[in-house]
């Protein structure tokens, strides 16, 4: 019975046919390729950006801002100009349609469309500034932790180049912004650039003052041959003291910043609760008595 069952399964079950079918070459599949909306939007933005003439005077500043925001693609400038054109056109068209459907007057329609065009033109620049500021804050928060790991690596016997590589690998999930910059330093060193030049490029790419101070410390340490571990430890302590002082400064400014919300939001409701019943009673009892007198 077992032999007969096995024979029937092997003969009619198709157990051997399926592996052989998988090993055979697949026939060419002809299907219509439908690009995703993201690819269509990217191609549209790239095409619109290629039509906009870039001013040579503002091009280096724009490239520096895009690099500090984390956009290292060589086509980043074209995408930025294309995003500005598309956002301006979409905002203007949307505002015009809204005003036209709401039966606004010609003057209101003109003002609404002009304001939308201006907002659409400014929106990519504001987003770029927000991205730069957010990335700078992330790098500032990550720098003390990265310096502590670099101190441990240097004291363990690693050189400065190996320390940079190790810090970029170990903290890439916790602090991807700064670790990406350190990985870029490693790539520049492997490409043949001098260490001083690679470190100065690190400070220029990030635009963070603490990173520029760290670059100055490392350059001076490499030039005069002093202890790298001691310099890094001292700079890490300095950064923590500066972070504590900035936090205390923000805490001291909090009382002044709370004056306006308290004055415009809390005090009116407090006046309504405390003085409202008195005014109601005066209006209901005292004023009729005065009218009778």
Tokens 């693609």 -> residue: 73
CA–CA gap between residue 223 and residue 180 (Å, rounded) = 26
Asked if 153 and 167 count as a contact pair (C-beta separation under 8 A), the reply is yes
Structural contact between residues 92 and 116, judged by C-beta atoms closer than 8 angstroms: yes
CATH topology of domain 136-250: Receptor-associated Protein (1.20.81)
pLDDT of residue 214: 87
Q: What is the mean pLDDT of the chain?
A: 82
> Per-residue pLDDT tens for 206-226?
888 888 888 888 888 878 877
pLDDT for 130 beyond 90: yes
Q: How far apart are CA 236 and CA 57, in angstroms?
A: 38
Q: Quickly count: other Cβ atoms within 10 Å of residue 41's Cβ.
A: 14
Extents of the domains making up the chain: 39-134, 136-250
Alpha-carbon distance 176 to 169, whole Å? Answer: 10
Check: CB of residue 142 under 8 Å from CB of residue 172. Answer: no
Residues 6 or more apart whose CB falls under 8 angstroms from that of 77 comprise 49, 54, 59, 62, 63, 66
Is the model more confident about 257 or about 290?
A: 257
pLDDT at residue 63, as a whole number = 86
Is residue 45 a contact partner of residue 75, using CB atoms and an 8 Å limit?
no
Q: What is the pLDDT of residues 43-88, one digit of tens each?
A: 777 777 777 776 677 788 888 888 888 888 888 888 888 888 888 9
Pairwise CA distance, residues 85 & 49, whole Å? 7
Enter the pTM of the model: 0.70
CA distance 228 to 218: 7
pLDDT at 13 over 90: no
Q: Cα-flanking dihedrals φ and ψ of residue 172, to 5°?
A: -70, -25
Q: Is 142 in contact with 171 (CB distance < 8 Å)? A: yes
Residue with tokens 């520096």: 64
Compute the distance between CA of residue 113 and CA of residue 93 in angstroms, rounded to an integer: 8
Dihedral angle computed from the Cα positions of residues 234, 235, 238 and 242, in that order, rounded to the nearest 10 degrees: -170
Q: Which two tokens stand for residue 278?
A: 């008195």
Residue 131: what pLDDT? Answer: 92
């Amino acid at each position: 019975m077992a032999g007969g069952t096995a024979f029937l399964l092997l003969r009619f079950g198709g157990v051997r046919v399926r592996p052989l079918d998988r090993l055979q070459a697949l026939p060419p599949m002809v299907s219509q390729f439908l690009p995703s909306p993201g690819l269509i939007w990217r191609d549209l933005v790239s095409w619109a950006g290629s039509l906009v003439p870039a001013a040579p005077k503002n091009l280096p500043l724009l490239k520096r801002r895009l690099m500090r925001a984390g956009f290292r693609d060589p086509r980043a400038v074209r995408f930025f100009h294309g995003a500005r054109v598309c956002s301006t056109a979409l905002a203007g068209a949307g505002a015009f349609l809204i005003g036209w459907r709401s039966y606004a007057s010609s003057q209101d329609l003109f003002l609404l469309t002009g304001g939308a065009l201006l907002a659409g033109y400014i929106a990519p620049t504001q987003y770029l500034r927000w991205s730069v500021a957010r990335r700078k804050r992330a790098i500032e928060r990550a720098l003390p932790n990265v310096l502590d790991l670099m101190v441990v690596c240097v004291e363990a016997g690693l050189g400065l180049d190996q320390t940079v590589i190790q810090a970029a690998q170990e903290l890439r999930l916790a602090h991807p912004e700064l670790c990406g910059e350190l990985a870029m330093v490693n790539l520049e060193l492997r490409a043949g650039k001098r260490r001083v030049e690679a470190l100065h490029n690190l400070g220029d790419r990030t635009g963070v003052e603490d990173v520029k101070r760290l670059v100055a410390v490392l350059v001076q340490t490499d030039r005069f041959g002093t202890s790298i571990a001691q310099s890094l430890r001292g700079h890490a302590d300095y950064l923590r003291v500066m972070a504590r002082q900035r936090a205390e400064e923000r805490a001291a400014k909090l009382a002044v910043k709370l004056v306006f919300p308290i004055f415009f939001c809390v005090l009116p409701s407090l006046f309504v609760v405390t003085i409202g019943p008195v005014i109601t009673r005066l209006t209901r009892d005292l004023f009729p008595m005065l009218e009778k007198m």
